[in-house]
Amino acid sequence: MNNLNGVVCVLTRKNGSEFLWVKRRMEHNFMGGYYAFVGGGIENDENLTIAMARELFEELGILVSTSGIVQWTNLDDREKIKKERNFIQFLDSLELEVDHAAFRPITDWRSGDQYNQKAYVRVFELSVDEELLDRPKKFIDEEATFAEWSTFEKGIELLDSGKAVASALVRTLLIHFSKSIRSFEQSQVLEELSTYKLHKGIFSLPMKSQTLPPSTTTNCVIIADDDNKKFLVVDPGGTDQHEQERLLRFIGELTTDGLEFIGVLLTHHHNDHHGALPLLLKTLNCPVYGHPKLSQRTEYKINPISNIVFGGLRTLETPGHSDDHLAFYIERTKTIVAGDMVASKGSILIAPDHGHVGDYLESLERLIKLNAQSAIPSHGSILVQPSKYFGDYISHRKKRHADIYALIHEKGHGTAIDLVPQIYAELLPDLYPLAALSVESHLLWMLEVGDISFKDDVFFVS
């Protein structure tokens, strides 16, 4: 992607000591529940500052014109503009023009692989009067649940504590602005920030891996302990040599900062979770920890998790996707390192070899009870307050189960692959064999609880 497709505005007040951010609605596929600056997409060939002015008007009711910056209180006008996209006509009717010069360009940002969508945005700063948007809550609508003014330091604190999740762009700008509002030079372009700091001592590094579509990367997670003295690397799954070297460099940086690297944790045995492990072992000769079953299923010497001394990390047995699956819970920030329990897009494959649908549902139920603030799945973007998301996965899985149950009872008998075209009506035939694995897991669970029988490679209703 080469063209800018969005605009973002850091609204500041009180001489640049405070900024405004919003919490995006959970339903958004892109950064749902994230704290963000105000912004949005560029319409057609819209000029960038016009797009920025339109977004501010739509979302917050702020009108930036050559006659000044004012708060617009007529909600009908904003509604009309949203629907009819005639922002310029609206300004014309008032004989106003956008004040292009009010927007200070700060940087361009190209998002990395951490999100469900790619974005390439121009970031502006706009300084406003103190009294403007003093009570911004009532101007927020379908984009965000609330907006608030904060100092940059408080913003960073909120992210570190786990109470808020934001993109790498937001964290980076908060850190720059906390030093000086002018510290970011216009010429700087923030290219893909590959190592993403989520909360204090928690980093995610998406690495290209041989995984299942729609994913192309595996999130390697780096966790420091509560005292910030030592750290672990979870699922170094990347196969790309440059990215593997980048991971090594990052481990080196933390070590230089005085932290001790104590080993690698694996969530389960699948290949897309340990592609970079051979290089780590060769270079750093570190211990590997995981479920005892991994000893037979991988080429590595696996140490028991109970041997790790590490403040604030809880291991959760979460069989289902695989019977050797573990998730990890970081207590200080209420963050789940979720492995393949969920993905931020697409669904999780339960294959019959080591998977189990019933166990999977139970494991998800247990994750819900943690009431976590955030979860890092192995594939895709970070999830905010993920319990509802886990619940949606359970409903989706139960519906699929009910569909397969109904179909096999309607047909009387069948194999997994027979049922696929009706269960997955939208699926490309190329993917039928993969879907059949999932259907078979559901049939095996029905067999286990006595709903159906199995003879001569065929499932049937007895």
Residues near Zn ion, by CB under 5 A:
270, 340
- CA-CA-CA-CA torsion for 416, 420, 423, 426, nearest 10 degrees? 160
Q: Is the CB of 160 or the CB of 340 nearer to Zn ion?
A: 340
Q: How far is the CB of 352 from Zn ion (least distance, A)?
A: 14
What is the rounded distance in angstroms from the CA atom of residue 411 to the CA atom of residue 414? Answer: 7
Q: Which tokens belong to 347? A: 């669904």
What is the rounded distance in angstroms from the CA atom of residue 267 to the CA atom of residue 277? Answer: 13
Q: Is the CB of 243 or the CB of 340 nearer to Zn ion?
A: 340
What is the rounded distance in angstroms from the CA atom of residue 15 to the CA atom of residue 11? Answer: 11
Q: Is the CB of 41 or the CB of 433 nearer to Zn ion?
A: 433
CA-based radius of gyration for the chain: 25
Q: How far is the CB of 271 from Zn ion (least distance, A)?
A: 9
Q: Is the CB of 12 or the CB of 211 nearer to Zn ion?
A: 211
What is the rounded distance in angstroms from the CA atom of residue 169 to the CA atom of residue 31? Answer: 12
Q: Is the CB of 263 or the CB of 320 nearer to Zn ion?
A: 320
Q: Is the CB of 220 or the CB of 259 nearer to Zn ion?
A: 220
Residue nearest to Zn ion (CB): 270
Q: Is the CB of 12 or the CB of 218 nearer to Zn ion?
A: 218
Q: How far is the CB of 269 from Zn ion (least distance, A)?
A: 8
Q: How far is the CB of 223 from Zn ion (least distance, A)?
A: 20
What is the rounded distance in angstroms from the CA atom of residue 280 to the CA atom of residue 286? Answer: 7
Among candidate residues 417, 411, 416, the one with its CA nearest the CA of residue 445: 416
Q: Is 143 helix (H, G, I), strand (E, B) or coil?
A: coil
Instruction: Please provide the DSSP assignment of 306-352 as one string.
Output: GG---TTEEEEE--SSSTT-EEEEETTTTEEEEETS--SSS-----T
Q: How far is the CB of 350 from Zn ion (least distance, A)?
A: 10
Q: How far is the CB of 323 from Zn ion (least distance, A)?
A: 12
Q: How far is the CB of 267 from Zn ion (least distance, A)?
A: 8
Among candidate residues 384, 390, 330, the one with its CA nearest the CA of residue 363: 390
What is the 8-class DSSP label of residue 139? G
Q: How far is the CB of 130 from Zn ion (least distance, A)?
A: 52
Element (H, E) at 387: helix 387-411
CA atoms lying within 13 Å on the CB side of residue 80: 10
Q: Is the CB of 218 or the CB of 374 nearer to Zn ion?
A: 218
Q: In terms of DSSP bridges, do strands 104-110 and 189-190 run parallel, antiparallel, or are they unpaired?
A: parallel
Q: In terms of DSSP bridges, do strands 413-414 and 383-384 run parallel, antiparallel, or are they unpaired?
A: unpaired
Among candidate residues 43, 127, 124, the one with its CA nearest the CA of residue 88: 43
Instruction: Please provide the DSSP assignment of 198-257 as one string.
Output: EETTEEEEEEE-S--TT--EEEEEEEE-TTSSEEEEE------HHHHHHHHHHHHHHHHT
Q: How far is the CB of 429 from Zn ion (least distance, A)?
A: 24
Q: Is the CB of 59 or the CB of 340 nearer to Zn ion?
A: 340
Q: How far is the CB of 31 from Zn ion (least distance, A)?
A: 25
Q: Is the CB of 171 or the CB of 270 nearer to Zn ion?
A: 270
Q: How far is the CB of 322 from Zn ion (least distance, A)?
A: 6
Q: How far is the CB of 268 from Zn ion (least distance, A)?
A: 6
What is the rounded distance in angstroms from the CA atom of residue 77 to the CA atom of residue 144? Answer: 19
Q: Is the CB of 192 or the CB of 323 nearer to Zn ion?
A: 323
Q: Is 417 helix (H, G, I), strand (E, B) or coil?
A: helix
Among candidate residues 419, 367, 417, the one with its CA nearest the CA of residue 393: 367
What is the 8-class DSSP label of residue 271? G
Q: Is the CB of 55 or the CB of 340 nearer to Zn ion?
A: 340
